[in-house]
């Protein structure tokens, strides 16, 4: 099953979103990389690496970020890993997390999940 990593500047936001998606996709592997090591706001390269390792498996990992430096830091991690099974998705944080985990639990592959997340990004909310 494809794993999902939620990267946020806020530990509380990442954890709350993980709790939220687990209600809809309880068996989908989800890990958070929220905030810095001391619990403050920010983005941690090491936390992203650890989160990816936590949910990594043969089906791969999709990384979803909230904004700004979370995206930049996640890109650095993925460039250093150089692993095609770990992909960064450009999508809204909440909607993307729901879509990714529900599809993962349903057995979708990494390519299908990333493609679906691109569609989520293009959908207007109103």
Say how far apart CA 56 and CA 6 lie, in whole Å. 13
Using an 8 Å Cβ cutoff, are 117 and 91 in contact?
yes
Using an 8 Å Cβ cutoff, are 57 and 3 in contact?
yes
Query: What is the predicted pLDDT for the residue at 123?
Result: 87
Domains and CATH numbers, the chain: 3-122 (3.40.50.510)
Count how many residues are written for the chain: 126
Query: What is the predicted pLDDT for the residue at 39?
Result: 86
30-57 pLDDT, tens digit per residue, is 999 999 989 899 999 999 999 999 999 9
pTM as predicted? 0.95
Distance of CA 12 to the CA centre of its chain: 15
Along the chain (126 residues), what's the average pLDDT of each consecutive run of 10 residues? Answer: 97 97 97 92 96 97 95 97 96 97 98 96 85
| Selection from 63, 64, 59, 66 nearest residue 105 by Cα | 59
Residue 34 three-state SS: strand
């Amino acid at each position: 099953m494809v794993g999902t990593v939620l990267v946020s500047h806020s530990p509380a936001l990442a954890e709350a979103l993980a709790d939220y998606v687990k209600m809809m996709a309880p068996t989908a592997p989800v890990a958070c990389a929220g905030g810095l090591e001391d619990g403050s706001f920010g983005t941690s390269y090491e936390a992203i690496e650890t989160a990816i390792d936590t949910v990594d498996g043969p089906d791969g990992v999709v990384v979803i970020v909230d904004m700004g430096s979370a995206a930049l830091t996640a890109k650095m991690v993925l460039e250093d890993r150089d692993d095609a099974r770990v992909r960064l998705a450009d999508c809204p944080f909440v909607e993307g997390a729901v879509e990714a985990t529900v599809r993962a639990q349903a057995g979708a592959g990494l390519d299908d999940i990333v493609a679906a997340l691109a569609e989520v990004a293009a959908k207007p909310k109103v």
